[in-house]
Structure 1
């Protein structure tokens, strides 16, 4: 059996002018995850990331702890879903038929928790009805891209290997939903709970893929207690 470790990027810079960069805490999370893999003896034979800055930096920092790190490849199919376009295009239509969502939008939805409610509404609408709107990548195209990217990792890595994929919550949710053969409306259920620098492990043999563990942050929870730091974050 071979393993693919889907690693969400460290905390990004929510609320700043440039979101797509690791915060100081996100950098520390990535460094500690790299040390964790090194300490438990997990050596990566293959590594790949989306081309977003937060994904790339997480990958570099994690791999820095490997005795002989593999090259970090790049595949934009591992980028995050385009939340900004979904909000811009879908939200004006959604608030017309959802009073609670309209009130939330009118309030400014500035907190992370409020923003997540908006993402839930727009992400779900994108999956179920986004094909009706111009300017949005179709869900099926994104989904099929993630599927093909995972198949590419399996082919590049081969049997008995460990691969690291540095990506984002929506992509991890899509990969998990595909492996579990979930219905389209269930994919958001895998998106919302994904922690920063969590580890989701897929195991595969040939073309058969199984989910071993999902959204694991036991490593960060233990270090939080040991170091008296709050290392577990969603956003």
Structure 2
């Protein structure tokens, strides 16, 4: 039966000119996750999938160094890419754009993102960079291809894509996606397992690399 370990990428560069690059802390998170999986005697995956974004590749490279994996064996699937939050927000606000004090405040920014995603799902945003339907279709294609492997799959992706997969498995309403996404920690692991009756959520948002109080510095959400 299939088992899919969904790993959200490590901390990227929020607020920088290029978000799609891991921070120094993000590199530490990825390596620590790999080490913790190895120490827990977690079985090696039969297949590895990643999105096509740099933060996915860099997370896998760090994780692989701690877990003795070959990152070059990964299958790159664009269905695991994140939706473009910056362009989606720009499409929603148009020439008004987000106020500077919202962009500089993480809490206020993610509240605004939540509202934008909900409007996107309701098809209330003109000319989005990608429609909600198209985003869902490509993410669910990736899900189906991983399930078809019928083995143990490790996938490195982003919070939105992972949450979309989880919502589909739970048969939950679409608005639950952004609720799950905003809870998801960097380098968190969520696990799906299969049975004769379908796929089930076995674990959500686990951070096995947090093994002591000293490791608390590694916990981030963005």
Judge same fold: TM > 0.5, yes or no: yes
Q: Higher Cα Rg: structure 1 or 2?
A: 1
The residue number in structure 2 matching 1:47 is 48
How far, CA to CA, are the matches of 1:62 and 1:207 in structure 2?
A: 32
2: CA distance, partners of 1:115 / 1:108: 5
Partner of 1:36: 36
Q: 2:160 aligns with which of 154, 158, 170?
A: 170
Cα pair distance change 1:60/1:207, threshold 3 Å: farther
Structure 1, unaligned runs of 5 or more: 96-101
| 2:130 is the counterpart of 1:137 | yes
Q: Is the 8 A contact 2:166 2:201 kept in 1?
A: yes
Map 1:12-27; keep pairs closer than 5 Å: 12-27=12-27
> Structure 2: how far apart are the matches of 1:44 and 1:64?
15
Distance 1:228 1:27 in 2: 14
- Distance in 1 (CA, whole Å) between partners of 2:49 and 2:27 is 18
1:40-79 superposed matches below 5 A: 40-42=40-42, 43-67=44-68, 69=70, 71-79=73-81
Instruction: Using the TM superposition, give the Cα deviation of residue 229 of structure 1 relative to its aligned residue in structure 2, in angstroms.
Output: 5.0
Count of equivalent residues: 220
Q: Give distance in 1, aligned partners of 2:154 and 2:17.
A: 29
**RMSD over aligned Cα atoms:** 2.1
Q: What's the offset of the Cα at 1:141?
A: 1.5
Q: Which blocks of at least 5 consecutive residues in structure 2 are unaligned?
A: none
TM-score, normalised relative to structure 1: 0.86
Q: 1:205: Cα distance to partner?
A: 3.6
